[in-house]
Amino acid sequence: MFHSLPRQLAASALALSLYGAGLPAQTLGTIDFPTSGRADAQAQFLRGVLYMHSFEYQSAATAFREAQKLEPGFAMAYWGEALNYTHPVWNEQDSVAARATLQRLAATPAARRAKAPTARERGYLEAVELLYGEGSKPRRDTLYSRAMERLSHDHPNDHDARTLYALSLLGLSQGTRDIPTYIRAGAVADEVFRVNPNHPGAAHYVIHAFDDPIHAPLGLRAARAYSKIAPDAAHAQHMTTHIFVALGMWDDVVSQNVIAAGHNHGAWGPGHYTAWLGYGMLQQGRLAESRKHLETVRGNLGTTSRAPTRAYLMSMRAHYLINSERWDDPSRSWTVDASGVGPAPQAMDAFALGYAAVKRGDRSEAARRLVELVERGKRSPENDR
């Protein structure tokens, strides 16, 4: 079904375009995404798409804006930045910023379409117009997904249309795992992965599609490949471990999250990668090292930390207490500011501290944490359904 440039040729073409544009050498994978853009703007555009495929959204936005500066009328650079404001797997969308981006290209959909010189590029623009058009988010997500399905059907050699269609399927269930839809998305992405095993989006979306204990074996090949496809994308180093966790491959979980968290171990703070790293250490039985890791990230929390960072510290402490069974550990007395933290991390924290109190025989502390746990449960979005 798919036909493309030989892999080495495509990789060389991309590398040469980035080098020619004066960009630092980076390895983010291989895509073949021709547009009508000027060579220097095209190099930045490709960089943006590569970063976007690996969910490195800030870096992607920077690259797309640089492409716009180099060629203000380059429609696909605005398409890329606009699409970059939707994160389907995480059910996040900044439609205001996306619409403002499209407005910078031209005032109306018709005027924007006129900026795209080819039918294929117009297809991409028309799809993103539906994504940020009228109606509820679920309706717009569905219309966008159907448009990407048509685009990939009309241009069967376009691997990026196909992989972005797979990603759109992952967003249809609005942040929950609808298994039949996810399996369909995985099958679509895997078609591309088999033809271009260096495509970052194909490998990445296969992993997301099969990110559960039952289907994880179907994503293992992509997980083994993805960290090597995009070594300069931190998310790629971490994302492989979603499959490794599901399969209990704790050595791989730890080694990959060490890479994802960065070489400066002493500066690690609470976050997604360090949380997964700490959990992996616990599953390996490295209790002393995981305790030291917890102390390090707490020490780097800072006095002006954001709520998500404090939420990670809460969850990391909870995992440590429950998995280490060190019920008297001094971390139980740490005060963590809960302002702005969602009910789920607070509930996890209250449960772990309460369970530790039960194990110590501290009935007063256990009762207090039980009240907290009930209150957090009342504030959970689950109770609004």
- Rounded Cα distance between 189 and 262, Å, is 29
Model confidence at 13, pLDDT cuts 50, 70, 90, reads very low
Residue type, 110: A
Q: Give me the half-sphere count of Cα atoms (radius 13 Å) on the Cβ side of residue 210.
A: 25
pLDDT of 206 reads: 99
Confidence class of residue 203 from pLDDT cuts 50, 70 and 90? very high
Q: Are 30 and 11 in contact (CB under 8 A)?
A: yes
Q: What pLDDT was estimated at residue 209? A: 98
Residue-wise pLDDT for 287-331, tens only, equals 999 999 999 999 999 866 899 999 999 999 999 999 999 999 999
Band of residue 25 on the pLDDT scale cut at 50, 70, 90? low
Tell me how far apart the alpha carbons of residues 224 and 240 are, in angstroms, rounded to a whole number: 7
Mean pLDDT of the chain: 92
Residue pLDDT, tens place only, 87-108:
999 999 999 999 999 999 999 9
Dump pLDDT digits (tens) for 247-284: 999 999 999 999 999 989 989 999 999 999 999 999 99
Residue 385 has pLDDT above 80, yes or no: no
pLDDT at 12 over 70: no
Q: pTM of the prediction? A: 0.88
Q: How much is the pLDDT for 88?
A: 98
